[in-house]
Amino acid sequence: MGLTISPSDYTSINPSYSDGRGFYTDATEVANLLQVPAFHATNTYPTLAQVGAIIKRVEGMVDEKVKRSFRPLLIKKEFHNFEYRNVPGNTLYGGYVGFIELTQMKIRKVVSLQVWDGTDYKELASAQAQIELLENFRDLDSIILQLPDSGVSFTMAAENTVASLGNDEFCNTFGIKTTNNEIVSLVNESFPSSTSTFTGATAPKALTSSSLSISDFFYAQKDTQNGKVVFISSLLSGDDGADCVIKATIKQSCTTVNADATLTVADSSKLAVGMTVTGTGISGTITIASITDSTTVELSGTATGSGTNTLTFTTTGNIPTVCNLTAFTDKEDMRRLGDYWLLNEEGRIFFLQDYPYNTRNSVIVSYLAGDGRVPATIHEATTKLVAAEIIRHDDQSILITETGGNISTKEKYDILKKEGMDILKGKGDIVYFID
């Protein structure tokens, strides 16, 4: 049985690397160990942000050394082979037809579990939506992801001009597949490495709403078989994730007449009955009731003003010739007698009812991993290794002065480094293989 909590755990976890706070330690703990004044945002060397950067690097090294993480990690598109076994139900790990061993242990959530069915990859996990871009995709104004019960909405705006591209937008200047790469990077708030050459991006994308980050709730990936489709998975539990909403918007120049339900539009071929209409001259919940001809539609209510303005049309369905939307649907059947079941602690996925072909690279998994607790030993090792790095970079002994005592600065570095690494040597997980 895995230990879930201990009185000695490091619990002062409020991560903000720019403020000197990580998952395993913080600048205050490091300063206390070095017996130096507290690090400051601007008035010390290193600054709080610089200490935070060191903490972040050391935490990554700790994860690599012990082959597990004590902080949340998102593992993207991990490929696995599948071997059919059909193990009887009366054995130790019985009741499965095959399993895969993930590279990480302590699985928090399987975000996406795609299995090859002979013609395509079939999704078995999480609540998932999708957007497919069509030939007039550049007319797309935005994609909106909304949390359950009319909760917080994250609006991903499209930008046609590279020079005007913001860090919270996706570029649709180029082709469909390039645009989808931009959408994936924005949802995941990652650096757009596949498109930065074209867009000139120099930093990861970021999108927040009401102090919440889009990547904390959603994960996006391109369809392996069709680059025109993006899958968007909710990071909420299956049933909860199915209550999320995906929307798309398009804008057109329109003419309203006060107290009249007839609306003159630029091109009705890109509109659909049921779309919500908002903008100047429109009040309340107004939708498209019918489409009369190429430039005329009838609204569900009358306009409240006359004039020509740019109006926004929003839908949870399809925008003709622009994009197709598929709503969030819970595809997860994770239970002992379901499609698959999971040993979270050991990082194993067992298949039973619905399983991949017996072939190579037949399973693609994206998942959240990381232990839910930070043991005191990990905190101690991280703090000592960060302190050692600070000493190593203190070339002019500005922070850590030579006192003429028995222990030199170099010796302090050597001691802290050795003690930290010795702790990590004993923390690696033992992996057991099932035959």
Measured distance CA(344)–CA(359) in Å, rounded: 24
386: helix, coil or strand? helix
H helix count then E strand count, the chain: 7, 22
Q: What is the pLDDT of residue 188?
A: 94
Measured distance CA(290)–CA(231) in Å, rounded: 31
Helix axes 376-393, 27-34, angle to 10 degrees: 70
Between 130 and 239, where is the model more confident?
130
277: helix, coil or strand? strand
* DSSP secondary structure, 253-305, as one string: EEEE-BT--EEE-S-GGG--TT-EEESTT--SSEEEEEEEETTEEEESS-BSS
Angle at 343 between CA 337 and CA 344, to 5 degrees: 130
pLDDT tops 90 at residue 213 = yes
Angle at 21 between CA 17 and CA 22, to 5 degrees: 80
> For residue 115, which of 150, 74, 79 has the smallest C-alpha distance?
79
pLDDT tens-digit readout, 266-301: 999 999 999 999 999 999 999 999 999 999 999 999
pLDDT tops 60 at residue 90 = no
Query: Which amino acid makes up residue 177?
Result: K
Q: Per-residue pLDDT averaged across 65-81, rounded?
A: 87
Structure token pair of residue 342: 């999971």
Q: Are 91 and 348 in contact (CB under 8 A)?
A: no
Q: Is 279 exposed, middle or buried (0-12, 13-18, 19+ CB in 10 A)?
A: middle
CA 411 to chain centre: 42
pTM assigned to the model: 0.77
Measured distance CA(382)–CA(63) in Å, rounded: 10
Measured distance CA(290)–CA(275) in Å, rounded: 10
162: helix, coil or strand? helix
Confidence label for 433 from pLDDT (cuts 50, 70 and 90): very low
